Amino acid sequence: MGEKETESPVLAIIVPCYDEEAVLPSTNAILRQKLDEMISSGFISPGSFIMYVDDRSSDNTWKVIHALSSPEVRGIRLSRRSGHQCALLAGMGEALDKCDLCITIDADLQDDPEVLAEMVGKSLGGADIVYGVRKDRKTDSWVKRTTAGNFYRVMRGLGVDCVSNHADFRLMSRRSMEDLLEYGERNLFLRGIVSQLGYEQDVVFYTRRKRMGGYSKYPFRKMLDFAIDGITSFSVRPVRMLFWLGVAFMLTALGIGIYAVVRYFQGATIEGWTSLILSIWFCTGILLMGLGIVGEYIGKIYIEVKHRPRYRIVDKV
């Protein structure tokens, strides 16, 4: 780098968009203003830009991006709906050789653009990765708040290193982006991979707002899928726990066996079939549960070995 270090960095703000025509014009106005402020204060270089990734929206999102395009506003369009995580990756892959830093932010600006400058400040201070972390979850529904809280607790309990209350609002330096793009997995849970990258990591706190317009693309069902993906992509402990559960069951069965023999020699009557039938159901339940967990991992392996492309860009502005 040498020479570059004295220059201000080129920043790319990457915004994944699926059916966001309702919010894009106001999002763009706000992001442009923040970008211009940072450029004029010399924080970032004039070549900095915003990059919208159209995740093959079904509405006019791509047309809106096209109309907004300028030297500071670029866009790419994916060949099919590839999902939020792949859209982020596509944006980073596209921006990689054109920037020194990137910040990923959702199109609905629920993540506060006011802290963009603070993120860049921390990066200039030496951080490679800066996480945007929510101060609280007041704007969330009760269900989302409790499920999210428990999710992060379970993740940490299972030994997955991940920052609580951080979604995909974060700054990354070019070298950390390069590392991230080398991870070839299809089951993408970016926030888990990013915390494994290492380097200097820092956080900024912000208050998450309500969506400016449009609708949420993460209904409960999808959130649950995403959570299961997150856990099974990073931890094999559920399978190991299953093994120990099996051991505990064997020991219990042994105990019952010894007890039965003792009772037999004491001349006591054999116990009724209730306990027997109960244990059959219980053990079958545990077995099926176990098969389900193992199946989840095999499913993941199946998807990984096919090594399909995660996204393809079909258009650029």
> Contact at 8 Å (CB) between 109 and 74?
no
Comparison of 20 and 100: residue with beta carbon closer to ligand UDP = 20
- 300: Cβ contacts below 8 Å, ≥ 6 apart: 187, 232, 233
Candidate residues 12, 14, 24, 55; the one interacting with ligand UDP per rule CB under 6 A: 55
Picking from 158, 301, 162, 303, the residue whose alpha carbon sits closest to that of residue 238 is 158
Comparison of 127 and 171: residue with beta carbon closer to ligand UDP = 171
> Contact at 8 Å (CB) between 90 and 78?
yes
Give residues 73-112 in contact with Mg ion (rule: CB under 5 A). 106, 108, 110
Smallest distance, ligand UDP to C-beta of residue 167, A: 7
Count residues near Mg ion (CB under 5 A).
3
Sign of CA dihedral 23, 123, 201, 173: positive
Q: What are phi and psi of 24, to 5 degrees?
A: -55, -45
Smallest distance, Mg ion to C-beta of residue 30, A: 15
Smallest distance, Mg ion to C-beta of residue 194, A: 19
Comparison of 104 and 176: residue with beta carbon closer to ligand UDP = 104
The number of beta carbons lying within 10 Å of the beta carbon of residue 71 is 8
> Contact at 8 Å (CB) between 14 and 104?
yes
Tokens representing residue 289 in the block: 């549960």
Give residues 63-122 in contact with ligand UDP (rule: CB under 6 A). 81, 83-84, 87, 106-108, 110
Counting contacts by CB under 6 A, is residue 218 touching ligand UDP? yes
Candidate residues 137, 186, 217, 300; the one interacting with ligand UDP per rule CB under 6 A: 217
Tell me which of ligand UDP, Mg ion, none is bound by residue 55, counting a contact when its beta carbon lies within the kind-specific cut-off of 5 to 8 angstroms: ligand UDP
Torsion of CA 220, 226, 232, 235, to 10 degrees: -100
Tell me which of Mg ion, ligand UDP, none is bound by residue 173, counting a contact when its beta carbon lies within the kind-specific cut-off of 5 to 8 angstroms: none
Comparison of 169 and 234: residue with beta carbon closer to Mg ion = 169
Give the binding site for ligand UDP (CB under 6 A). Answer: 16-18, 20, 55, 81, 83-84, 87, 106-108, 110, 216-218
